[in-house]
Amino acid sequence: MSSVFANIIFVGSDHAGFALKSDLIKQFPDLPWRDLGTNSDESVDYPDYADRVVNAMKEHGIDTSVGVLLCGSGQGMAIRANRYSFIRAALCWNEEIARLSRAHNDANVLCLPSRFIEPSAACVILAEFLNTPFEGGGRHERRVKKL
């Protein structure tokens, strides 16, 4: 599997997302992952890891990278990531939300709620997110520009 819109995937998690992050990397070993931590289930502050991922995306190039952030609810990571003007982070808990966040919102960061989804569901969500192009044009592009 590869991404239709990115050639590098920056991934980060807090302690609650560590196990699921590790599982995703293991399930998709051929993806161009860049793991920015955390590296254990010892308590850390999720905003620090969201910052690492979005800053790495900016440095590498927003048009050629994607972020994946994991924490207990996914919401904290999404809130922090969306403070950056060049980020459109989407909290996704199923395949349809992942598809729509890409197709309609041109999301460039996937946030996953590690305490509320199974690893198998996370794999499906990730695949859908990476393989769905932005529909662009017309109403979707107009709306994304307003963000």
Q: Which ranges in 43-133 belong to alpha helices (H)?
A: 46-60, 75-81, 95-103, 119-131
Burial string for 50-68 (b: 16+ CB within 10 Å, else e) reads: bbbbbebbeeeebeebbbb
- What is the Cα–Cα distance from 53 to 97, expressed in whole angstroms? 22
Q: Point out the residues that are catalytic.
A: 104
CA 1 to CA 33: how far, in whole Å? 12
